[in-house]
Amino acid sequence: MSSNHDSPNKFKQNWPFFWFSQINAAYTNVLERRIKAYGIDIPRWRAMMSLYEDQYLSVSEIAEFSAQKLNTTTKVVQRMMKDGLVSTRVRPQDGRVTEVCLTDKGEKLRKQAFTEAQAVFDATFSELSEGEIQDLNTTLSRLHTRLKDQ
């Protein structure tokens, strides 16, 4: 499928990438305001949520899952270590890789901040059914894969 979007007539409203960036910016702004009270910024939030699902990840894996640059993620992890939110270990299967995990303090903070993220989610998606949300996730995942393959 190929569509010609190179026309100024309603370009923004018909260009999906415009909406992706607008949604990401709006979500980031709303969430950042809500989690700031916990002393968490968006880079820390992304790292915490990456570790939540997978428990132990390398800094490179955190960078990939959190859609952040490796050097940014390294600095975030270092700050989180200093604050006692994460700890590190050598990966049992590969001694060259250092893994990061949330400490009890980090997990407690993640849970507190997640209540804010859940509130944002609930308010944003309240008019969509579970099926619509699943379809949206499936479509976004497919688009993500196609972009990564380019």
Whether the pLDDT of residue 4 is over 70: the answer is no
Please write the tens of the pLDDT for every residue from 37-60: 999 999 999 999 999 988 899 999
Please report whether residue 127 resides in a domain: no
Q: What pLDDT score was predicted for residue 53?
A: 86
Q: In angstroms, rounded to a whole number, what is the distance separating the alpha carbons of residues 114 and 128?
A: 21
Phi/psi for 100 (5° steps) reads -120, 140
101-106: average pLDDT? 98
Q: In angstroms, rounded to a whole number, what is the distance separating the alpha carbons of residues 130 and 79?
A: 37
Whether the pLDDT of residue 2 is over 70: the answer is no
- Locate tokens 């890789």: which residue? 97
Q: What pLDDT score was predicted for residue 11?
A: 85
Q: Percent of the chain beyond pLDDT 70? A: 95
Q: What pLDDT score was predicted for residue 12?
A: 87
CB neighbours of 5 closer than 8 A, spacing ≥ 6? 11, 14, 15
CB neighbours of 18 closer than 8 A, spacing ≥ 6? 11, 12
Q: How many CB atoms lie within 10 A of CB 31?
A: 19
The residue segments making up the domain with residue 86 are 41-118
CATH code (residue 71): 1.10.10.10
Please report whether residue 104 resides in a domain: yes
Q: In angstroms, rounded to a whole number, what is the distance separating the alpha carbons of residues 43 and 66?
A: 8
Please report whether residue 146 resides in a domain: no
Please report whether residue 12 resides in a domain: no
Please report whether residue 57 resides in a domain: yes
Q: In angstroms, rounded to a whole number, what is the distance separating the alpha carbons of residues 93 and 97?
A: 9
Please report whether residue 144 resides in a domain: no
| Structural domain total, the chain | 1
Please report whether residue 16 resides in a domain: no
Helix (H) or strand (E) holding 106: helix 104-125
Q: How many CB atoms lie within 10 A of CB 79?
A: 15
What confidence tier does 106 reach under pLDDT thresholds 50, 70, 90?
A: very high
Please write the tens of the pLDDT for every residue from 5-44: 666 678 888 899 999 999 999 999 999 999 999 999 999 9
